[in-house]
Amino acid sequence: MSIDMLTIPAQCVTQSRIEELDYNNIEFGKIFSDHMLVADYKDGAWQNPQILPYGPMDLSPATSALHYGQAIFEGMKAYRDANGDVLLFRPLDNFNRLNLSAERMCMPALPEDIFMQGLEQLLKLDAAWVPPTAGCALYLRPFMFATDNFIGVRPSDTYRFIIFSCPVGAYYGQPLKVAIEPNYVRSAEGGAGFAKAAGNYGAALLPARKMQEKGYHQLIWTDAKEHKYIEESGTMNVMFVMDGKLVTPPVSTTILKGITRNSVLTLARDFGYTVEERKVSVDEIVAAHKAGKLQEAFGTGTAATIAQIATIHYNGEDMDLPAIEEREISNRISAELDKIKTGQSPDPHNWVQRISL
Ligand code: COI
């Protein structure tokens, strides 16, 4: 790719690091592709978008994002189809959610062209980093943070937006054992739980670690008022199949508007399954399990896609769910979603953007 074909100016690497990548052994989030997009906000406008070699940046210790948490991010994936073309999954949905998060965190909206052209140009330059391996993808990480060197508490006047990428394999290596969290909360009504704000993830680490020390991979968050209703699981939206129906908590100010969540519900409706977006109480899950009606449970997210839940712990008891192979709805949707993302199935909802290389 020559630089003059790009509309965003690019400073390309002289030597790619692609040899560092073993396509058959990709760990999540540890190796980064050659280039990144950087744009800055100052004097009331986004300016100077450019593509640079991936690498460290100079930051003042007073950078306000590090102190008061004006920091948001997105996660999206690009795949390879059978012809070697690169397919990006639902990028506009990530763009819209980024600006939703920006609004909640009192940060400036990003123009669509910086996001979309930046993605497209990065993918052209770093196409070799999109793994052809089944179950793998190039994970793109757009994020924005406050850059004022000022430690008074107020919204920053300056921001930086970056997109970098990393080839990834499976986020979770096995079906999950999760525990319902009876004390800690991820988010409360009126808070920023629906935003993909860095602080939401930071505050979740201690409760998750405590559950991990008890032998569970992750926890299931419950509502902040009564710990009675299910919210999310770990960093994912959560879904259940009870009595043949796909049930998931509705999006709200406390729950992330998951793009994988929406894709799964859409495909489930396309397949003719009954889908219910409604409050799900912990008691309902326990009763369904007792009655033999809790057939499936799984998390949905960009990183994990569909993460099967094998066991749910609540109140001193482990509820073991049916074997993964028996789970008709999640297995069927997961397979179809993979096929759409990799161009093996028709894309009736126009989710896939083909990058012409
Ligand atoms: C996602 O991309 O699914 C996330 O929320 C980020 C993280 C779990 C890697």
Answer yes or no: is pLDDT of 4 > 70: no
Task: Report how far ligand 1's centroid is from the alpha carbon of 295 (Å).
Answer: 26
What is the CATH number that goes with domain 5-168?
A: 3.30.470.10
Helix (H, G, I), strand (E, B) or coil at 238: strand
Distance from C-alpha of 20 to C-alpha of 242, rounded to nearest angstrom? 45
Task: Report how far ligand 1's centroid is from the alpha carbon of 241 (Å).
Answer: 23
Quick one: which atom of ligand 1 is closest to the CA of 234? 8
pLDDT band for 27, please (50, 70, 90 cuts): confident
Spell out a b/e string for 132-158, using b for 16 or more CB atoms within 10 Å of the CB, else e: eeeebbbbbbbbbbbbbebeeeeebeb
Residue 305 in contact with ligand 1 by CB distance below 6 A: no
Distance from C-alpha of 117 to C-alpha of 209, rounded to nearest angstrom? 39
How many CB atoms sit inside 10 A of residue 9's CB?
13
Residue 302 in contact with ligand 1 by CB distance below 6 A: yes
Helix (H, G, I), strand (E, B) or coil at 92: helix
In Å, what is the CA distance from 313 to each residue of 4, 248, 317, 318?
A: 57, 18, 6, 4
Task: Report how far ligand 1's centroid is from the alpha carbon of 199 (Å).
Answer: 14
Residue 235 in contact with ligand 1 by CB distance below 6 A: yes
DSSP for 250-287, written as a single string: PPBTTB---HHHHHHHHHHHHTT--EEES--BHHHHHH
Give the mean pLDDT of 308-336: 97
Token pair 């993808």 in the structure block, residue: 137
Task: Report how far ligand 1's centroid is from the alpha carbon of 139 (Å).
Answer: 10
What is the CATH number that goes with domain 176-341?
A: 3.20.10.10
Give the mean pLDDT of 276-282: 98
Helix (H, G, I), strand (E, B) or coil at 117: helix
Q: In whole numbers, what is the pLDDT of the chain averaged over residues?
A: 96
Distance from C-alpha of 307 to C-alpha of 291, rounded to nearest angstrom? 24
**Model pLDDT, residue 6:** 56
Q: In the numeric block, which tokens belong to residue 99?
A: 């600006």
Q: What is the pLDDT of residues 213-242, one digit of tens each?
A: 999 999 999 999 999 999 999 999 999 999
Residue from 302, 305, 337 to probe ligand 1 pocket by mutation (most atoms less than 8 Å from CB) = 302
Answer yes or no: is pLDDT of 320 > 60: yes
Residue 303 in contact with ligand 1 by CB distance below 6 A: yes
Spell out a b/e string for 235-271, using b for 16 or more CB atoms within 10 Å of the CB, else e: bbbbbbbbeeebbbbeeeebbbbbbbbbbbbbbbeee
Distance from C-alpha of 345 to C-alpha of 326, rounded to nearest angstrom? 23
Report domain extents, the chain: 5-168, 176-341
Task: Report how far ligand 1's centroid is from the alpha carbon of 40 (Å).
Answer: 24
**Model pLDDT, residue 24:** 86
Q: Which residues have C-beta within 8 Å of that of residue 213, sequence separation ≥ 6? A: none
Contact 121, 12 (CB under 8 A): no
